[in-house]
Amino acid sequence: MPALAHVLLLGVVATLATDAWTLLLRLLGIPVLDWAMVGRWVGHCVQGRVRHDRIAQAAAVRHERVLGWLTHYVTGLVFAAAFLALVGPAWIVRPTLLPSLIFGLATVAFPFLLLQPALGLGIAASRAARPWQARWRSLATHAVFGLGLYLAALLSVLG
């Protein structure tokens, strides 16, 4: 399978895994990120405003939900490409869980240091109503992303 196909497979499957996790949390009544807010942020970034005190209070952006979901999946693809660049082509032939899990957990740096502060939540959700709950949810979600990378690689080997 060509490298681009591996990136697409890993990125989409790992992102779908996070979506399944998020759906489970939502069904359990646990608050999760609304991708429309990410789309709103991206829309404002294009207009030159990167940081907000509270993204929910910022002006709505046309098609923000679609833009947020698109950003979510593009990010998953970028993370998958970065992961494959780090582990090399041999990993996809003989995948192991630990590298993908470590990488998934490492990607939590992006929401902690970029997205959450930009949305008005502070570094590592320090301004959230329950910072440690938000942090644990972020860590769990990114661990699920890492698990998704591994499961996608297994699909690739088996398929």
Cβ atoms of residues 121 and 33 within 8 Å? no
Q: Which of 21, 134, 4, 120 is nearest to 72 (CA)?
A: 21
Residue type, 122: G
pTM of structure = 0.94
138 contacts: CB under 8 Å, gap ≥ 6 = 108, 111, 112, 116, 125
Hunting for tokens 């698109």 — which residue is that? 70
> What pLDDT is attached to residue 14?
98
> What pLDDT is attached to residue 87?
97
Domain count, the chain: 1
The parent domain of residue 66 ranges over 3-158
> What pLDDT is attached to residue 157?
86
> How do residues 100-137 score in pLDDT, each as one tens digit?
999 999 999 999 999 999 999 999 999 999 999 999 99
34 contacts: CB under 8 Å, gap ≥ 6 = 68
> What pLDDT is attached to residue 1?
59
pLDDT at 141 over 90: yes
Q: Which of 6, 124, 145 is nearest to 76 (CA)?
A: 145
> How do residues 22-64 score in pLDDT, each as one tens digit?
999 999 999 999 999 999 999 999 999 999 999 999 999 999 9
